[in-house]
Amino acid sequence: MTLLPLLDASPIVQLHVGAACLALLLGPFALYGRRKGRGHKVQGYVWVIAMAITALSSFGIHSFAVIGPFSPIHLLSLFALWSLYEGMRHILARRVAMHQIVMRSLYWRGLCVAGLFNFLPGRTTNRMIFPEMPDAGYVVISLGIAGLVWAGVRSRRTLQAAMA
Q: Could you say which residues of the chain have pLDDT below 50?
A: none
Q: Where are the domains of the chain?
A: 4-163
User: CA–CA separation, 147 vs 164, rounded Å?
Assistant: 26
Tens of pLDDT, residue by residue over 35-81, are 777 888 999 999 999 999 999 999 998 777 677 777 777 888 999 99
Q: State pTM to two decimals.
A: 0.86
pLDDT at 162: 66
Dihedral sign computed on CA atoms, order 151, 16, 56, 32: positive
pLDDT at 63: 73
Dihedral sign computed on CA atoms, order 149, 150, 151, 157: positive
User: CA–CA separation, 54 vs 61, rounded Å?
Assistant: 11
pLDDT at 23: 97
